Amino acid sequence: MDTEIFNYELPEELIADDPSARGTGKMMVLDRSTNSITHSDFSSITDYIDDMTTVVFNSTKVIPARIFGKRSSGGRVEFLLLKVLQNGLWQVMVKCSKHIDKGEVVFFENGLTAELVSRSEQFADVKFSLGENELFDYLDKFGDIPLPPYILKRRNEKHSRPDDKEKYQTVYAETAGSVAAPTAGLHFSKEIIGKIREITGGHVENVVLDVGLGTFLPVKSEKVEEHTMHKEHFVIDGATAARLNADKAAGRKILAVGTTTVRALESAAVAKNIIEPCDKETGIFIYPGYEFRFTDRILTNFHLPCSTLLMMISAFAGREFVMDAYREAVENRYRFYSYGDSMLIL
């Protein structure tokens, strides 16, 4: 399958660099049963949820994971902390003007230091001078929210703004571990979630998938099948899995909020309509031809051309239908990407 068939033209001015207020913004509704497109707004999402729907969120929390330091020579270094490794080290993405190799120590404000234990291309395993909990506290005080590069480019800025710490975080975020937000969840206000709980009779569940850097990267291989998918850690506890399996058995429709939630649910599926508790990494790659085993409906944003996220949505709704919808979204001036508008697929 050619990667290029997932490409499309997007005027740069449609890339959102600031989100709409929670509970607002446009929402395109794709109905797979009628192959129809409806233009709506997010405040009407509860019109598409009934008492036989179960809504599943990804309650991961974005870490202010960008920090800026200096080498002993005075050169500037940027770290993006990706994940904690089993040996207590951190995997980071490194940016600096000149090559930096293992053994070197980087100095950050307020006394934090980091030694590069190993280096591979733009990635490194590093040992910080603070333990994991202390480092999380440090990041909360001094770290920069890792906004996608296209937002910073649109703003012509190098750092996130103070209010991004709240805007680039869902209102239900609980478990710190992501370097990117599950952006479909950014549309929800606490009031809308409360209304959903009422409509569904409390059938609202949380899973956790720590969103990694690879989520938004385009596929660079000419053939889709040749792409190597990044891995992300996810957790679905036993009680949540049991309730979701019971809901499926009762005929309820599972609405996954965001592609990261889909990724967790489909990775946990061991058979049609059955998932198992999980606490592990997933490298699942969903593209056209994949048969969904647990997800019935998806709320998502508008994704980058040739991205794995666009391929997942195309697998769910059909590539031609989705690409037609994207063209219509451009014509109707929808806002794209992480801070953009939403798409509900029924």
CA-to-CA distance for 49 and 46, rounded, in angstroms? 5
**Tokens, residue 23:** 């509970």
- How would you list the strands of the sheet with 278-282, edge to edge? 36-41, 26-31, 342-345, 297-301, 253-257, 53-58, 204-209, 232-236, 278-282
Q: In this structure, which amino acid lies at residue 232?
A: E
Domain with CATH 2.40.10.240 in the chain: 66-143
Domain with CATH 3.40.1780.10 in the chain: 3-62+165-345
To the nearest 10 degrees (0 to 180), the angle between helices 319-331 and 308-317 is 110
* Domain formed by 66-143, architecture: Beta Barrel (2.40)
For 3-62+165-345, CATH gives: 3.40.1780.10
Name the β-bridge partners of 113: 107
Model's pTM, two decimal places?
0.95
Per-residue pLDDT of the chain (346 residues; tens, 9 = 90+): 999 999 999 999 999 999 999 999 999 999 999 999 999 999 999 999 999 999 999 999 999 999 999 998 899 999 999 988 888 899 999 999 888 888 999 999 999 999 999 988 888 999 999 999 999 999 999 999 999 999 999 999 999 999 999 999 999 999 999 999 999 999 999 999 999 999 999 999 999 999 987 776 778 899 999 999 988 999 999 999 999 999 999 999 999 999 999 999 999 999 999 999 999 999 999 999 999 999 999 999 999 999 999 999 999 999 999 999 999 999 999 999 999 999 999 9
Overall size of the chain counted in residues: 346
Q: Which residues contact 164 (CB under 8 A, 6 or more apart)?
A: 145, 147
Q: Which residue, 184, 186, 150, is CA-closest to 168?
A: 186
Name the β-bridge partners of 197: none
Burial of 229 (0-12, 13-18, 19+ CB in 10 A): middle
